[in-house]
Amino acid sequence: MALLAWYNMMCEGGKIALCRLQDLPDPGSRGITLDTRYGSLEIFLVRKCNEIYGYINHCPHTGVNLDWVQDQFLDPSGGFIQCATHGALFRIEDGVCLRGPCVGARLRPIELQLEQGKVILISR
């Protein structure tokens, strides 16, 4: 099953509170495993300049998770998402790969919103 279809099926048009905004440093990242009746799905959040971005934790080049160390999805500068397997760099704002073996490919985004200081996952 395609990752995006899997994600939409798991969320079933609902909302899931992922974390409090204050628990995510700026800049910073955090991995989250969603467990549902359909299985688990790993996602991650990135906070940059008080904006929150979310993606499925899946490298478009190899399919592996992007992190080797828990909650470490950013390069040392904090300016890009980095795949720990092969060093590909992705733009935080849209997940487009700018450097590495999958240039032009993009991470699969998840829809988020902020509600009362909480980061909320949404599926439509």
pTM to 2 decimal places: 0.86
- The beta-carbon contacts of 6-12 under 8 Å, at least 24 apart in sequence, are 6/38, 6/41, 7/41, 7/56, 7/108, 7/110, 7/123, 8/123, 8/124, 9/38, 10/34, 10/36, 10/38, 10/39, 10/41, 10/123, 11/121, 11/122, 11/123, 12/123
Q: CATH number for 3-122: choose from 3.40.30.10, 2.40.50.140, 2.102.10.10, 3.40.605.10.
A: 2.102.10.10
Q: Give the start-to-end residue ranges of the domains of the chain.
A: 3-122
Kindly give the confidence (pLDDT) of every residue in the chain, 124 residues in length, as a single tens digit, with 9 standing for 90 and above: 344 444 544 455 578 899 999 999 999 999 999 887 778 889 999 999 889 999 999 999 998 999 989 999 999 999 999 999 999 999 999 999 999 999 999 999 999 999 999 999 987 6
